[in-house]
Amino acid sequence: MKPGTVSAACTAVLKRDLALTWRRRGDALNPLLFAIIVVALFPFALGPEHAVLERIAAGTIFVAVLLAGLLSLDQLFRSDLEDGSLEQLVLSPHPLSLLLACKIAIHWLTTALPLILVAPLLALLLQLPPPVLPVLLATLALATPLLSLIGAMCVALTIGMRRSGMLLTLLVLPLLVPVLIFGAGACNAAQAGLAYAAPLLWLGAWLALAVVLAPLATAAALRISLT
Amino acid sequence: MNPLLLWFHKMGSPPTFYRVAGLWLPWLYALALVAGAAGLYGGLFVAPADYQQGESFRMIYVHVPCAWMGLFGYIFMAANGFIALVWRIKLSETLAMAAAPVGAAFTFITLVSGSLWGKPMWGTWWTWDARLTSELVLLFLYLGVIGLYNAIEDTRQAARAAAFLALIGVVNLPVVHYSVVWWNTLHQAQTVNLMGQSKISGSMLWPLLTMALATHVYFFASVLARARAMLLGLESGKDWVRVLAQGAAPSHPEAAHG
Amino acid sequence: MAEFFGMGGYGAYVWSAYAVFFVVLLIDALLPQFQRRATLRDIAARLRRESAPSRSAS
């Protein structure tokens, strides 16, 4: 049997992952709910004064989104490993990194995009000044794909373990420190009326690098863990 | 084959490495002790007190060499990890994983001594200073590598996965450092550093360099000792380990030191 | 002597930094020795177990 083209393989992976997510659409809401709960807890802890909430809004939303993303990362390859389709992907004649890039893209689309869409609501809860909202959305749009890409590398390394939750957090968080600093930093700069283009551009550069390198690294890591 | 390459080739075989490293170890430990004693004597008795920081600056003789070793250990680990992944050399895997706990220990000392210096100088145990924060992230990276290595059951697969993580960390480390520096200028944190911009005089400098030599030698001694212990476990089915183990049975305790 | 140990009022900080340095490195130096001996003991015990039945049979 002749193998199909690379683009056909990628389309098949994309369609399959979308269909699987759609069948378990209830689960897809979990990170969303988690982010909202985390954000809602802060006013209880710090008091409802607008000035305080305004000051911490951008950073809190950023941390909540990152934690929610981290929560969903574990599921990235889990079901594929269990039903054996991950090994099929590794054995397929097509470049593994491209197929994995498709999987990561779908993962971002189904877990991180809803988080970005709900960010205005989170901003409302924490009294984020309206002019800062576009900056927050822009940084989230750059930071969440980074989370998915960096997270995928770490998930690929921990895939052999039955319980990887805490270890995965330990692996991912140091790698996300720059993302958090630049992302929340851009929002804080915008809020203080300072220039915020530089951190945004840094995030963009980091994302461009990660889009190219992370799928390759994920493929290499997966090959190490599955041998 | 040229002699140097031949030497590397021979050292790559676990029994030879075990034997040669065992011969070197006492000398390395002794050299580290002598250099450390000389450095500490210079640092504690010869060097004058700093005109700004007084006697508290004497902490640099443990803080700064340890900070250097924390970074050096990570680079050593990543370089060996790279060799292990590309050429699949068992010894490099072992050396990379042996370096992780030693580097983490040095990073931990850096953090604690930095904090002990910060209390009298800054009036607080911890401040989100750019260097301290980078060291903290470095410690987390070390802990991630060690945690991943311990969590995977198959030792060789664990070493390769952890080596790969160490390589990802190498790419990340400069980005972390510059982002933390940028974040620090944004928030106007403390600017006084244990190693300030001021020029350091000769009588203060030579003890520091001697201590740096001592910690480097100690690092290699500790890595070799760990690698020897790990190789025994890895090669437990091989003949040379059997011979060693039988020699180390209770009737001949002195052979265990070999 | 007391002046030396006092370190101009910073004695507690300076000496605890040195203490941490020595304690952590001492532990780091001892651990591989213990680990190596334990591994050798384990292997020796396993070899004795493996060779015991064959010796009784002969």
Q: Which of A116, A135, A153 minimizes the C-alpha distance to A191?
A: A135
B101 found inside a domain? yes
Residues of B in contact with C13 (CB under 8 A): 56, 59, 116-117, 119-120
**pLDDT confidence tier of residue A35, bands split at 50, 70 and 90:** very high
Residues of A in contact with B147 (CB under 8 A): 167, 170-171
SS3 category, A94: coil
Q: Quick check: C8 contacting B, CB < 8 Å?
A: yes
**pLDDT confidence tier of residue B253, bands split at 50, 70 and 90:** very low
Cβ contact (<8 Å) for B165 and A220? no
A225 has pLDDT over 60: yes
**pLDDT confidence tier of residue A139, bands split at 50, 70 and 90:** very high
Say if residues A218 and A104 touch (Cβ distance below 8 Å): yes
**pLDDT score recorded for residue A4:** 78
Q: Quick check: A93 contacting B, CB < 8 Å?
A: no
Between B70 and B50, name the one with better pLDDT.
B70
Q: Which amino acid is at B212?
A: A
Between B203 and B16, name the one with better pLDDT.
B16
B22 found inside a domain? no
**pLDDT score recorded for residue C1:** 64
B184 found inside a domain? yes
**pLDDT score recorded for residue A193:** 85
Range of the domain at B79: 38-43+56-231
C55 has pLDDT over 70: no
CATH code, B183: 1.20.120
Share of chain B above pLDDT 70, in %: 87
Q: What is the mean pLDDT of residues A204-222?
A: 93
Share of chain B above pLDDT 90, in %: 41
Q: Quick check: C17 contacting B, CB < 8 Å?
A: yes
Please name the member of A167, A175, A220 whose beta carbon is closest to the beta carbon of B172.
A175
Written in H, E and C, the secondary structure of C16-54 is HHHHHHHHHHHHHHHHHHHHHHHHHHHHHHHHHHHHHHH
Residues of B in contact with A175 (CB under 8 A): 168-169, 172
**pLDDT confidence tier of residue B49, bands split at 50, 70 and 90:** confident
* pLDDT, tens digit (0-9, with 9 covering 90-100), for B178-198: 888 888 776 654 444 555 545
Q: Where in chain A are the domains?
A: 6-226
**Torsion of Cα atoms, A187 then A191 then A192 then A194, to 10°:** 60
B155 found inside a domain? yes
Residues forming beta bridges with residue B50, ordered by sequence position: B54
* pLDDT, tens digit (0-9, with 9 covering 90-100), for A188-202: 889 888 888 888 999
B68 has pLDDT over 70: yes
Highest averaged pLDDT of the listed ranges B13-17, B33-37, B248-252, C49-53: B33-37
Count CB-CB contacts under 10 A for residue A204.
13
A28 has pLDDT over 70: yes
Give chain C's length. Answer: 58
In this structure, of A114-118, A160-164, A169-173, the range with the lowest mean pLDDT score is A160-164
Cβ contact (<8 Å) for A181 and B141? no
Q: Do chains A and C touch (3 or more CB pairs under 8 A)?
A: no
Residues of B in contact with C24 (CB under 8 A): 105, 108-109
What ipTM was predicted for this assembly?
Answer: 0.88
Rounded to the nearest angstrom, the gap between the alpha carbon of residue A98 and the centroid of all alpha carbons in its chain is 18
**pLDDT score recorded for residue C58:** 44
Question: For residues A174 and B143, what is the distance between their CA atoms, to the nearest angstrom?
Answer: 10
Written in H, E and C, the secondary structure of A17-59 is HHHHHHHCHHHHCHHHHHHHHHHHHHHHHHCCCHHHHHHHHHH
Sort C54 into a burial class: Cβ within 10 Å, 0-12 / 13-18 / 19+.
Answer: exposed
Please give the C-alpha separations between residue B221 and each of B75, B108, B224, in angstroms, as whole numbers: 17, 19, 5
**pLDDT score recorded for residue B257:** 46
Highest averaged pLDDT of the listed ranges A19-28, A69-78, A150-159: A150-159
SS3 category, B54: strand
B213 has pLDDT over 60: yes
**pLDDT confidence tier of residue B118, bands split at 50, 70 and 90:** confident
A220 has pLDDT over 90: yes
Q: What is the mean pLDDT of residues A139-143?
A: 94
**pLDDT score recorded for residue B251:** 46
Domain count, chain B: 1
Q: Quick check: C51 contacting B, CB < 8 Å?
A: no
Say if residues B149 and B136 touch (Cβ distance below 8 Å): no
Chains near C (3 or more Cβ pairs under 8 Å) = B
